[in-house]
Every structure is written in C-alpha cells, then in structure tokens.
Amino acid sequence: MFEKVLIANRGEIALRIHRACQEMGIATVAVHSTADSDAMHVRLADESVCIGPAAAAGSYLNGAAIMSAATISGADAIHPGYGFLAENADFAEMVEAHGIVFIGPSPDHIRLMGDKIAAKKAVTEAGIPVVPGSDGPVEDAAAALEAARAIGYPVLVKAAAGGGGRGMSVAQSEDDLKSAFGLARGEAEAAFGSGVVYLEKYLTRPRHIEIQIVADNHGNVVHLGERDCSLQRRHQKAVEEAPSPALNDDSRQRIGHIAVDAVRHLGYRNVGTLEFLYENGEFYFIEMNTRLQVEHPVTEMVCGLDLVREMVRIASGAALAFAQENVRFTGHAIECRINAENPDTFQPSPGRITDYHAPGGLGVRVDSALYSGYTVPSHYDSLISKLIVHGNNRNECIMRLRRALGEYVIGGLETTIALQRRIIAEPDFLNGDYDIHWLEKFVGGGA
C-alpha cells in the first residue's frame, strides 16, 4: 500500500480524498494555489505545497508544478479528484513516467473515452446501445444536414471533446441546424481547442441514468447500481439519487450486466461511470467518465462502500474485496449540490462566510470544505457543498433531506439552498416524475 498520496485538487473533493487516505493510514500532501492557502484541505493534510497563482492554468492545471510537488514531497501516488487534470491522459502518462502511481484508469482508456466519437464506437463494439447519430464526425454544415436527414429532427450537435455541458446545440429543423452547427463548433473550439463535432438524435423526454462500476487489475468487474441525475440545469447536474425512481429490478439488472460486460471487454480498470439516457424503457449510452464523479456519495450511501478507498486499493494492485453478489443495496440516497450562486439568477456569489452551521443527525452527510470565516474564492467552480441524505426508503429520505436543508446555514453569501428546498417540495419530484428538461422549465431557463 502507498505511504503518501498527493491530492491534485481542491475544495470538497480534496478533503474527501484526504479523509479516505487518513482512514487507511496513508499520509497526504495537499497542493494549492495562492488563493487557497487557508483552505481546509491544506489545513488538514499532513503536508502542503503551493504550486502557483490563483488562476487554475498556473496551479491546479499545471501538471509540471504538481509533478515537482510530488517529487519534492516523496509521494508515491497521485489522486486527481474530478475536474482539473482528472481526465487528462497526458497528465496521467506524465505521472506514470515519473514512477508515481496515477490513482485512476490507464492513460489509454482516459484518452479513448475523452473522445466521445471514439468512445461510442468502442462501447458499441462492446455490446452497449448508443444514442442514434452520425457515423463519426460531421465536417461541415452540408454533412450535418445530410446526417440529420437520416437521423430525423430534432438533433443535437455535440463536441467530440465535450464536457461540463458545453459545446452542445439543439436543432429542430434544417434552418436551425446551420446555426447550431456553427454555434457548437465555435464553442467547442473555444472551450476544448478542438472543433470536432458529431450529431445525435435529441431525445425529448429522457432521464439521465448512470452506472457506477469498479474494476481491478485482476479481471474483476462489479457494478454498484445506478444514479438518476436527471435534474439538471444547462446540462449540469443539480440533484442526484439512487436508486432511480424510474427503474424496476429487471431494467436495473439488465443495464448493470451490460455495463459490467462492456467494461470487462474494454479491459478498463479502477472506477468509472457509464452515462445513459433512458427513454421508453430503452437505455442509450452517451459517454463514459473515467474518474470519480461529484455524485459518487449517493452510491456510497446505498452500498455502504468508500469509493475513494476502493480507488486507492485498486491502484495499489489489490484485488476487489467483494464480488457482485456481495454488493447489498440498502435504502435510498439523495444528493443536493449547493453552489455559491444567486438561486434565481445563478450569478456566482463568492465571498466571506460569516456564519456556518452544517446539518447533522442520522443519515445526514455533508461533503464540504467550508468553515466560518472562510472566503470562497472567485476563481473556481461555484460548488461549495454537497448535502447527501440516506433513508430507509425514498419517502423517509426526502423528509430527512427537507429537515437537513432547513437546518443548513451558510451566511455571508448567496447559495442555492433555497432553490433545493423548492425543488424537493414539488409534486413532480415527490412522485419521482421528472426528466432531464424538468429543472430547466422549473427555473424558467435561469440567467
């Protein structure tokens, strides 16, 4: 097992990884920008190294600086968390070239799944159903029009290198498509440095259902069930739950087996998530995330497992300590993402936290690096906390979530807690009756 792990991230996920390592008796090294000297992960880690300026390009995205910190501190492994360099195959390769273990999948798998066109092709060959779409990239507007004729409107233009809901544009008609093509391509070029786009059938009432898998280096692959992440704004998840109110045991088993077979076929290792859209009883793959997801705690709560611990164990060469039949799903879990944003306009609201009181009690978990007196910097993502609640069933879970959201005090800045309270009081949410477009309609499109 490793003696020292460097955490190449910040905020709640850096703290989350530190906690798992500490429980395993592994020392941690925090890296931080100049804006994060007072951050909780820096305070709690065994060692810390300042790696650059506030702007992420010079610090959390600076692979060379992170490698220097790892070398100086003598870390034997690096956990990348999510975001930043977590799905950067070149970084994973650089880590390995230095004789340090990258806690995640192989660089080749990261690269394969980072290209959504190649990913769809690879999983199709592995027996997974995908959203119907263009056969590979579409080079220009004329090729897009031709592909759309075969697919049927509405269609979605998507960036092959996409992520974070960017580089996506819907077209309802041929006229629409000409502008949607230019829009998606332009956004993709600006955001990802690659204007390669492809077309997909735009599904009008799907749910977003994803399957968590864990795979070791010894050929063992296990799925940990699904998460329903249909409540999204601008293609970004806001509330996630497990199990999905839309699946029954049959559909759950079916997609779980399909995912496990495909992952085994691909020779993938460590944790990963296969994302699907689910409509009219059918699953359609959209992408695979080759990292720990923001919403991983809902799976942990219903399975009683620590996914970061599993990642570290797998990366150290250990075999999975459980088989599929040992995985027991208990009760229901819901996560609310809490952002430092105005709950009506979604404008970021960084600043100093004057009062802080986190909810507690049975079945309540708060993954956050906040504390009273902490200043949320303006340089990074606005996610500041995740409230995760577990109950014996969905109803109990929602009652507990309502209670916990009511207790949560984050003073001094605006947060989305008020919006989360409104969402979970809605009859559609209570009935489990929502699709990926529900939240957007509920908030009126937002800012």
Query: 165 or 304: whose CB is closer to ligand ADP?
Result: 165
Measured CA to CA, the distance from residue 339 to residue 414 in angstroms comes to 8
Our finding on whether 161 is near ligand ADP (CB under 6 A) is: no
Q: Using the rule CB under 6 A, which residue among 8, 203, 376, 401 binds ligand ADP?
A: 203
Are 273 and 293 contacting, i.e. CB atoms less than 8 angstroms apart? yes
DSSP assignment, residue 36?
A: G
47 forms part of the interface with ligand ADP (CB under 6 A): no
206 vs 391, beta carbon nearer ligand ADP: 206
Query: What span, in angstroms and rounded, lies between the C-alpha atoms of 191 and 34?
Result: 25
Does 238 bind ligand ADP (CB under 6 A)? Our answer is no
**Closer residue to ligand ADP in complex, CB, 273/416:** 273
* Footprint of ligand ADP on 367-406 (CB under 6 A): none
Neighbouring-strand partners of residue 200 = 133, 156
Q: Backbone phi, then psi, for 268, in 5-degree steps?
A: -75, 145
Q: Which of 33, 48, 232, 342 touches ligand ADP by CB under 6 A?
A: 232
Distance CA 176, CA 110 (A): 33
Q: How many helices (H) and strands (E) does the chain have?
A: 15, 20
Q: Is 200 in the site for ligand ADP (CB under 6 A)?
A: yes
Residue whose C-alpha is closest to residue 260's, from 323, 201, 200, 310: 323
- The catalytically annotated residue of 291, 337, 365, 400 is 291
Say if CB 215 and CB 310 are below 8 A apart.
no
Q: Is 333 in the site for ligand ADP (CB under 6 A)?
A: no
Tokens 């233009």 -> residue: 157
Q: For residue 178, what are its two tokens? A: 């000409």
The single residue listed with the structure tokens 């530190």 is: 18
Nearer to ligand ADP, 202 or 408 (CB): 202
Please name the helix (run of DSSP H) or strand (run of DSSP E) that holds residue 236, with its range, or none. strand 236-242
In the complex with ligand ADP, the residue whose CB is nearer, 104 or 377, is 104
Which range, of 74-82, 138-146, 203-211, 422-430, touches ligand ADP by CB under 6 A? Answer: 203-211
Other beta carbons within 10 angstroms of residue 102's beta carbon come to: 24
Adjacency order of strands within the sheet including 155-159? 168-171, 155-159, 197-201
Q: From residue 95, how far is each of 6, 71, 76, 317, 338 by CA, in Å?
A: 11, 10, 10, 17, 32
Give the side-chain half-sphere CA count within 13 A for 405.
Answer: 25
Answer yes or no whether residue 152 interacts with ligand ADP by CB under 6 A: no
How far apart are the C-alpha atoms of 127 and 12, rounded to whole Å?
36
DSSP classification of residue 443? T
Site string for ligand ADP, 286-325 (x = CB under 6 A): xx--------------------------------------
Distance CA 413, CA 328 (A): 40
Position 63 contacts ligand ADP (CB under 6 A)? no
Quick one: 65 or 85, whose CB is closer to ligand ADP? 85
Minimum distance from CB of 232 to ligand ADP (Å)? 5
Q: Give yes or no for residue 120 binding ligand ADP (CB under 6 A).
A: no
Nearer to ligand ADP, 274 or 384 (CB): 274
Interface with ligand ADP (CB under 6 A), residue from 74, 127, 152, 164: 164
Among 208, 313, 386, 400, binds ligand ADP (CB under 6 A): 208
The three-state secondary structure class of 331 is: coil
Least Å distance between CB 230 and ligand ADP?
7
**In 270-407, where does DSSP find H-type helix?**
296-303, 307-315, 394-407
Closest distance to ligand ADP from the beta carbon of 166 (Å): 6
User: Is residue 313 annotated as part of the catalytic site, yes or no?
Assistant: no
User: Stretches 16-24, 201-209, 337-345, 412-420: which one binds ligand ADP (CB under 6 A)?
Assistant: 201-209
Q: Which stretch binds ligand ADP (CB under 6 A): 29-37, 94-102, 135-143, 198-206?
A: 198-206
**DSSP single-letter state for residue 389:** E
> Is the omega angle on the peptide bond into residue 243 within 30 degrees of 0, that is, cis?
yes
Report the nearest approach of ligand ADP to the CB of residue 92 (Å): 18
Residue 129 binds ligand ADP (CB under 6 A): no
Among 168, 161, 318, 333, smallest CA distance to 245 is for 333
Q: Which of 39, 436, 439, 443 binds ligand ADP (CB under 6 A)?
A: 436
Residue 350 in contact with ligand ADP, rule: CB under 6 A: no
Q: Which lies closer to ligand ADP via its Cβ, residue 275 or residue 396? A: 275
User: What span, in angstroms and rounded, lies between the C-alpha atoms of 34 and 54?
Assistant: 5
Question: Per rule CB under 6 A, is residue 199 in the interface with ligand ADP?
Answer: no
Q: Smaller CB distance to ligand ADP: residue 181 or 408?
A: 181
Site membership for ligand ADP, residue 131 (CB under 6 A): yes
Q: Could you list the residues that contact ligand ADP (CB under 6 A)?
A: 131, 156, 162-165, 200-203, 206, 208, 232, 235, 275, 277, 286-287, 436
Q: Which residues are catalytic?
A: 291
